[in-house]
């Protein structure tokens, strides 16, 4: 489905990003794994991706940093020759009620998710535009659609990603590049694994499908949006949330 294409995934060493990288590799894409934290985790993903017979390399980068992002993107283009697909998945949470949220925590969350997405789109745009079917996929959140108490920073960043998605979709359409967003709900990751049992039970009550989603359920939608099957879809926000936000 993605054979011969090169995909860049930020925040790809764990959780949703890891699942996206492995699903794309399984479908034939060469993978650039961008991460910031654990070297061990990133190289494990790289080894697993390589096991599908594709080229995979790791790049440590703070996506919020303009110069660091630029240098990383240039290295990726040098190593792979070109980029066809960009998945902006990197993100952090620093949850708190607004009156307790520090400027540092607000900036950190917005800088990673929103500015980091802008940085990578900006630095990879020309390469993606040269692709016969360029794809940009931004991982937003249902928090960016409906808001969430205690997440003023996260909700603002993820809402901003939706606005960025729609603008890029309009600007890049002339080059046959599509740009879409995915808005996951409660997904089984390291973040949700640490939730108290009472919270997990509450999630089961408020989600119409009565369960937390799996990372592969997000990743498979990303693969679809990256493939030729989605060639006439752009500027959309696809919710993967079990019906939570409807």
Average pLDDT, stretch 116-137? 97
| CB-facing half-sphere around the CA of 240: CA atoms within 13 A | 19
Sequence ranges of the domains in the chain: 6-239
- The average pLDDT across 118-144 equals 97
- Report the 10 Å Cβ neighbour count for 161: 26
Q: How far apart are CA 132 and CA 224, in angstroms?
A: 17
- Identify the pLDDT of residue 227: 98
CB atoms within 10 A of CB 210: 11
Q: Which percentage of the chain shows pLDDT scores above 90?
A: 91
Is 35 assigned a catalytic role?
A: no
Are the C-beta atoms of residues 31 and 87 closer than 8 Å to each other? no
Contact between 146 and 203 (Cβ < 8 Å): no
- pLDDT score for 196: 72
Per residue in 190-233, pLDDT (tens digit) is 777 767 787 778 888 999 999 999 999 999 999 999 999 999 99
Residue 62: pLDDT band with limits 50, 70, 90:
very high
Q: How far apart are the first and last CA of the chain?
A: 31
Q: Which of 192, 182, 133, 177 is nearest to 161 (CA)?
A: 182
Average pLDDT over residues 230-239: 98
Q: What is the DSSP string of 72-113?
A: HHHHHHHHHS---EEEE-------B-GGG--HHHHHHHHIII
Given 35, 43, 59, 154, which residue is catalytic?
154
Q: What is the dihedral of CA 140, 132, 216, 186, to 10 degrees?
A: 10
For residue 49, with 0-12 CB atoms within 10 Å meaning exposed, 13-18 middle and 19 or more buried, which class applies?
buried
- pLDDT of res. 215: 97
pLDDT for residue 203: 87
154-202 tens-digit pLDDT: 999 999 999 999 999 999 999 999 999 999 999 998 777 767 787 778 8
What's the CATH class of domain 6-239? alpha beta
Residues in the chain: 246
């Amino acid at each position: 489905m993605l054979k011969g294409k090169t995909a860049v995934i930020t925040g790809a060493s764990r959780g949703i990003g890891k699942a996206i990288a492995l699903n794309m590799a399984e479908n034939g894409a060469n993978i650039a794994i961008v991460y910031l934290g654990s070297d061990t985790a990133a190289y494990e993903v790289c080894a697993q991706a390589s096991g599908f017979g594709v080229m995979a390399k790791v790049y440590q980068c703070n996506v919020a940093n303009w110069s660091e992002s630029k240098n990383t993107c240039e290295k990726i283009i040098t190593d792979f020759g070109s980029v066809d697909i960009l998945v902006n998945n990197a993100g952090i949470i620093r949850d708190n009620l607004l009156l307790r949220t520090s400027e540092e925590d607000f900036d950190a969350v917005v800088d990673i998710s929103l500015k980091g997405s802008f940085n990578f789109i900006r630095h990879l745009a020309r390469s993606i535009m040269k692709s016969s079917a360029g794809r940009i996929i931004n991982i937003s959140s249902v928090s960016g659609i409906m808001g969430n108490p205690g997440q003023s920073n996260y909700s603002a960043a993820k809402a901003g990603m939706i606005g960025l998605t729609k603008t890029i979709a309009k600007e890049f359409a002339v080059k046959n590049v599509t740009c879409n967003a995915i808005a996951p709900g409660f997904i089984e990751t390291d973040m949700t694994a640490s939730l108290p049992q009472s919270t997990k039970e509450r999630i089961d009550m408020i989600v119409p499908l009565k369960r937390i989603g799996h990372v592969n359920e997000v990743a498979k939608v990303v693969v679809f949006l990256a493939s030729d099957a989605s060639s006439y879809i752009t500027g959309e926000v696809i919710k993967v949330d079990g019906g939570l936000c409807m």
